[in-house]
Amino acid sequence: MIILLLGACNPFDNLQKGNFHNVRKTGLEIKEALPVSFFPRELAIVAAGDSLTQGVGDSRKSGGYIRYLEESLEKETFIRKASFENFGVRGNRSDQLLKRLENKTLQSSIKEADLIILTIGGNDLMEVIKANFSNLRLDHFQIGQKVFAEQLQDIFSTLRHSNPNAPIVLVGLYNPFFTWFADVAEMNQIVDAWNGESKSIVEQDGNAYFVDIHDLFLSNGEILLYTDYFHPNDRGYQLIADRIYELLDEQVLDSLND
């Protein structure tokens, strides 16, 4: 039987000072450096963008994909708490998000973030449809795509000005529009083109990642849209969170565990 007596002092004082020889006095011997996961940390995450970040369509009104992603992240041994700050605003386009990035509170949160997650572009695409509803043509989307790409590039530049080091995750667009516009045969190709433009901007950053969710809403047999036929429902948000976590687990979390 082993009896370990702890006095009023901090039992990790010797470990923190690197004086491992004194630990022998307690009958314990440190064979190697303790893993980082021995001291789990709080992960500061800024989620910004549109209604997908706000969580419109979430029956519990708890942040859409965020609540599912939080649960997955907090199962990681090195994460004590995944602390999200939600700056999602329903209806926001890329130009509006860019304007909001001038807000001092948001800037401060971004500066302190370990990870930044963005959802943006769906309302830019919808704006093209609204503006050209009576005479919708492919070139309208191509013009809109170019404007969106310029705004997205400015968003990344602004984020990097506040935080040069945090990984940025951009969630791509999906196509809910076929429910309303079945006669627009090119809609899936349009969404893929916009996503391709976004992915190229992400790749230029060097520490940013693109999460493609378009296929989830095309090939999945489940009903993934809310009753407005535009936003995800609970299951849709769960699948989005799973896709984000998969990306983080494969490519990002190790760097946050250093």
Q: What is the three-state SS of the chain?
A: CCCCCCCCCCCCHHHHHCCHHHHHHHCCCCCCCCCHHHCCEEEEEEEEECHHHHCCCCCCCCCCHHHHHHHHHCCCCCEEEEEEEEEECCCCCHHHHHHHCCCHHHHHHHHHCCEEEEECCHHHHHHHHHHCHHHCCHHHHHHHHHHHHHHHHHHHHHHHHHCCCCCEEEECCCCCHHHCCCCCCCHHHHHHHHHHHHHHHHHHHCCEEEECCCCHHHHCCCCCECCCCCCECHHHHHHHHHHHHHHHHHHCHHHHCC
User: Is residue 17 one of the residues assigned to a domain?
Assistant: no
Residue 29 has a pLDDT of 58
Q: What is the pLDDT of residues 187-229, one digit of tens each?
A: 889 999 999 999 999 999 999 999 999 999 886 667 899 998 8
Higher pLDDT, 3 or 112: 112
| CATH number of the CATH domain containing 213 | 3.40.50.1110
| Residue range 85-114: mean pLDDT, rounded | 97
Q: Is residue 114 part of a domain?
A: yes
Query: Is the Cβ–Cβ distance between 251 and 209 less than 8 Å?
Result: yes
- Domain of residue 221 covers 37-256
Whether residue 1 is contained in a domain is answered as: no
* Predicted pLDDT at 32: 61
Averaged pLDDT, 30-42: 64
pLDDT score of 6 more than 50: no
- How many domains are contained in the chain? 1
Residue 3 lies in a domain: no
Would 104 be classed as within a structural domain? Answer: yes
Residue 29 lies inside a defined structural domain of this protein: no
Q: What is the mean pLDDT of the chain?
A: 86
